[in-house]
Amino acid sequence: MKIFKLPDLGEGLQEAEIVKWHVKVGDEVKTDQTMVSVETAKAVVDIPAPYSGKIAKLFGKVGDIAHIGAPLLAFEGEGGASDAGTVVGKVEVGQKVIAEAPAAAGPVTGGIKATPAVRALARKLNVDLAMVTPTGADGLTTANDVQRAARVLAETGPIEMLRGVRRAMAQNMELANAEVASATIMDDADIDAWPAGTHTMLRLLRALVAGCRAEPSLNAWYDSEKVGRWVLKKVDAGIAVDTPDGLLVPVLRNVDSRDPEDLKRALEKLVSDARARKVPPEELRANTITLSNYGSIAGRYASPVVLPPTVAILGAGKIMKQMVVVDDKPAVHRILPLSLTFDHRVVTGGEAGRFLNAVIADLQRAE
């Protein structure tokens, strides 16, 4: 048999989920005919046949995760497992787009203390030892611990595997937690001077640009391997969008050079497309800084997550009325809470503070 392996799909992707087989065993296919659709961490991709032939075997079913270089299907004829997975035809990218993410890390069990008999029991009962709370001496996992975990799992039912956007989100957060040295500062903007009908997101985007102009070091990418950074001139803002499928961060380009009406139309389209899963893959990457208006749902302050290679994310909390002091007298004003998380490997506290001061100053302007 001639083995066809899952080809390199570009952008550093390491895996893809099989979403639809377009062929079955025994089918005759022609060069460039679509054989299978897979969902990567960015889009649904149709993989064509590299040559004509008869399908002898399919490696995997719908819902399986295939890794780059792993066997995908086999053609009848001479050949072996060493056959390359090069795609001759054009790889078509669909419109179903999901968030950018790295490959998932496998479970780590090397630090778990358990006897061979207990490990065998865990395998028999299909219990992941990493999920078991040990009660034995010096952190030893006992047979009773495994059996207790098995009972709990039996009550909760089978695990729900994360797919698509949620899988990508989990992998992104794992990468951020493992790599970024996060620090967060918080402050408030008094927005009582805003006229009625002020568009909160447009004001936040304008303030974000003001912050980047005052302290460009937060509008940057950082390369941890080379220990270097790119301080970027244009502002391409990643906009965190909550969707039923999970968190998406499409990119609003050239925020610093667009007029308010153009920016408003672009923002509304971006959010609508994100929730309808119609954002092109190229608009889900290469943002220079991120904005999250989580306060539109709930919450005053937060610790937003910085996703490499960016170095900063500005979060806006729920607008609330509170007592403030004006000319040494109490007054009730509208207050917008702000949280700025930055990568402390490359951004100093002073730089973050100056950025946030500029954001607040812009937000506190009446117009």
Interval 94-119: pLDDT, tens: 444 433 333 333 344 457 888 888 99
* Separation of first and last alpha carbons in the chain: 70
CA distances from 7 to 36, 193, 364 (A): 12, 57, 52
Domain with CATH 2.40.50.100 in the chain: 2-97
Q: Is the pTM of this model over 0.75?
A: no
Q: Is pLDDT of 92 > 60?
A: no
1-29 pLDDT per residue, tens: 889 988 876 655 678 889 899 999 999 99
Q: pLDDT band at 180, cuts 50/70/90?
A: very high
- Least confident among 49-58, 106-115, 295-304, 324-333: 106-115
DSSP code for 62 = T
pLDDT attached to residue 99? 37
CATH of 2-97, one of 2.40.50.100, 3.40.50.2000, 2.60.34.30, 3.40.50.1000: 2.40.50.100
Digit-coded pLDDT (tens) for 148-163: 989 888 888 777 888 8
Nearest by Cα to 314 from 297, 334, 295, 298: 295
Residue intervals in the chain for CATH 4.10.320.10: 113-156
Stretch(es) of the chain classified as CATH 3.30.559.10: 166-363
- Strand-pair partners of 53: 29
- Section 162-176 average pLDDT: 84
Topology of domain 113-156, CATH: Dihydrolipoamide Transferase (4.10.320)
CA distance 14 to 126: 27
Token pair in block for residue 103: 């490959």
Which H or E run contains 148?
helix 143-156
> What mean pLDDT do residues 255-261 have?
95
Range in 83-97, 199-213, 283-297 with the lowest mean pLDDT: 83-97
User: So what's the pLDDT on residue 154?
Assistant: 86
Question: Average of pLDDT values for 134-143?
Answer: 87
Q: Which of 167-176, 294-303, 326-335 is predicted least confidently?
A: 167-176
- Is the per-residue pLDDT at 81 higher than 50? no
209-240 pLDDT tens trace: 999 999 999 999 999 989 999 999 999 999 99
Residue 11 confidence (pLDDT): 53
As a whole-number percent, the residues of the chain with pLDDT over 90 amount to: 56
Would you place residue 78 in the very low, low, confident or very high pLDDT band (cuts 50, 70, 90)?
Answer: low
CATH number for the segment(s) 166-363: 3.30.559.10
At 103 the pLDDT is 37
Q: Alpha-carbon distance 168 to 225, whole Å? A: 23
**Of the candidates 116, 18, 5, the residue with the CA atom closest to the CA atom of residue 68:** 5
